[in-house]
Amino acid sequence: MNDPQQIWPEEFAARYRAEGYWRGETFGMMLDRLAAEFGGRVAVVDAAHRWSYAELAERARVAAAGFAALGLNPGDRVVVQMPNRAEFLSVVFGLFYAGLVPVYVLPAHRETEVLHLAAKSGARAYVCADRHDGFDYRPLARALKAAVPAIGPVVVVGEAEEFIPFDGFTGRMAAPVPRDPGSVAFLQISGGSTGLPKLIPRTHDDYIYSFRASADICGVTADSVYLVALPAAHNFPMSSPGFMGALIAGARVVMAPNPAPETCFALIAQEKVTHVGLVPPLALLWMQAAPRTKHDISSLQVLNVGGAKFMPESAARVRPVLGCTLQQVFGMAEGLVNYTRLDDPEDIITQTQGRPISPDDEVLILDDAGQPVPEGEPGNLFTRGPYTIRGYYEEPAANARSFTPDGFYRTGDVVRRLPGGYLEVRGRATDHINRAGEKISAEEVEDHLLAHPGVFDAAVVAVPDRFLGEKSCAFVIRAEGADLTVRELKSFVRGRGIAEFKVPDQIVFVPEFQTTAVGKISRKALRAALKEKYLSEG
């Protein structure tokens, strides 16, 4: 936990405190303050629960006592794999209250990813739901305990079987365990472009600043109602402004079990939802469904769209079709978040991805040689600021690549700066597939393909998709004599215990990779060459 690269140099920390960004409040303290301020108001709603701020805090205090009684100590990491339910909040605030550090994994993650992230984070416990979306997490918990000996208690929300039932916790912690507000509050997963996912350490001070400022920029007040449509463990629905931004404003959080238009439209009508965040493909789906819905969605005020590029033509349809203001958001779990502002002119809202949250967000746009590009020209985006990490969790090699010596994060995005500091995302320099906002590392999927004995080599590329934005295509050279089929290979990859969204959408068998280039070329150049050769005409 003490990787010095995670820590801001003191001169920066001092400035961020002096500017009032970092206020020295931990998540545990925040919960107590919100319960005192908004006590009887509704904090969170799902299909089965409706809790006030006072109730949420009480449940977190009970959970905290329960976690502490399991022998977990302040600073210990706990893997949390929870769907969008009210208990997402009682679990994580219970952990914060007990001084524990959640490691957020997505409900879609499977054994391979969960084992890796648990081992990588040095986690000591696992919290999951019994089942969700047709998947049973208890066998996964068994596999995790067998493979990662450091994992002790497993706490299950729902039917616990041999594990510890979350609902069985008794006792009550009277006050939050004191933590340094500058310490790591939780670990989140990066959408990284190389190998397995990396862990992003966020501190109490930096993260609370990011969503407090976001709530303000997004017009979230105590009268707002925020719908969590995307998986709650993602940084976007958590903090941009997300359920955290909603809570700090005293608003109501509504947990949607899935982002389908009819599910969400019913919740919007029922709870008078004012704010929601969506990735572009979902925004398109909602716009398609809205004219025919029987539900009244007129309470919607702000639709945040981000995670992938939202095309200006689609952006222009949001207000006419959904009757609310579009607010584009270009963010990343590593930190920097940009928003168009609610009162910006229409062309800024539809054609840009916004400008940074903070006056102290530093943005550099550099060419491949590291020199600033002329104003308005596209270049590589680097950033540093009061809520952008200085390094991944225990990744010295990746940190040397992803951060400059003076602490700028190399985002991998190619952007153009417009007057007023607005950014337009033009593309990216790193090799991942942005599939409906889920970032998939080409290298990670290639490794799964290569594990099949019938595969000689594999290269995974992003191909444009009208609906998803991008989808994945794997070029595969069969091993000599192997008569592998696309179906077999897909089911093999699926069987590797990974999130379904990582299984290649398309597999193309090719006889060889390089016909023209001589000598060694980078994987990146190879992927580009394959795309050019097989996908450009057609």
Alpha-carbon distance of 40 to 224, in angstroms, equals 15
Buried-exposed string 104-139: b where 16+ CB fall within 10 A, e elsewhere: bbbbbbbebbbbbbbebbebbbbbbbbebeeeebbe
Alpha-carbon distance of 310 to 469, in angstroms, equals 9
Residue 40 CA neighbour count, 13 Å, CB half: 0
- The residue within the footprint of ligand J2J, chosen from 395, 413, 431, 444 (CB under 6 A), is 413
Alpha-carbon distance of 286 to 303, in angstroms, equals 11
Closer by beta carbon to ligand J2J, 83 or else 331: 331
308 belongs to the binding site for ligand J2J (CB under 6 A): yes
Tell me the DSSP string of 62-120: HHHHHHHHTT--TT-EEEEE--SSHHHHHHHHHHHHTT-EEEE--TT--HHHHHHHHHH
- The residue within the footprint of ligand J2J, chosen from 28, 94, 99, 191 (CB under 6 A), is 191
Give me the least distance between CB of 253 and ligand J2J, in Å please: 16
Give me the least distance between CB of 191 and ligand J2J, in Å please: 4
Whether 286 and 278 have beta carbons less than 8 Å apart is answered as yes
441 belongs to the binding site for ligand J2J (CB under 6 A): no
314 belongs to the binding site for ligand J2J (CB under 6 A): no
410 belongs to the binding site for ligand J2J (CB under 6 A): no
501 belongs to the binding site for ligand J2J (CB under 6 A): no
Of 169, 140, 153, nearest to 70 (Cα)? 153
Tokens of 85: 């339910």
- The residue within the footprint of ligand J2J, chosen from 329, 365, 440, 445 (CB under 6 A), is 329
How many residues bind ligand J2J (CB under 6 A)? The answer is 23
Interacting span for ligand J2J (CB under 6 A) from 169-177, 218-226, 330-338, 482-490:
330-338
Q: Is the dihedral of CA 153, 156, 162, 164 positive or negative?
A: positive
Of 411, 3, 402, 27, nearest to 201 (Cα)? 3
Whether 512 and 477 have beta carbons less than 8 Å apart is answered as yes
Tokens of 22: 């970092």
Interface with ligand J2J in residues 358-377 (CB under 6 A): none
Closer by beta carbon to ligand J2J, 53 or else 310: 310
- The residue within the footprint of ligand J2J, chosen from 330, 382, 403, 475 (CB under 6 A), is 330
Amino acid of residue 121: S
Closer by beta carbon to ligand J2J, 71 or else 312: 312
425 belongs to the binding site for ligand J2J (CB under 6 A): yes
Give me the least distance between CB of 145 and ligand J2J, in Å please: 29
Count of C-beta atoms within a 10 Å radius of residue 285: 16
194 belongs to the binding site for ligand J2J (CB under 6 A): no
Give me the least distance between CB of 202 and ligand J2J, in Å please: 11
328 belongs to the binding site for ligand J2J (CB under 6 A): yes
Give me the least distance between CB of 334 and ligand J2J, in Å please: 7
Give me the least distance between CB of 427 and ligand J2J, in Å please: 9
Q: Of all residues in this chain, which one has the CB nearest to ligand J2J in the complex? A: 331
306 belongs to the binding site for ligand J2J (CB under 6 A): yes
Tokens of 286: 């909602």
- The residue within the footprint of ligand J2J, chosen from 193, 239, 314, 350 (CB under 6 A), is 239
411 belongs to the binding site for ligand J2J (CB under 6 A): yes
Amino acid of residue 130: D
Residues lying near ligand J2J in the complex (CB under 6 A) are found at 191, 235-236, 239-240, 306-309, 328-333, 337, 353, 411, 413, 425, 428, 437, 439
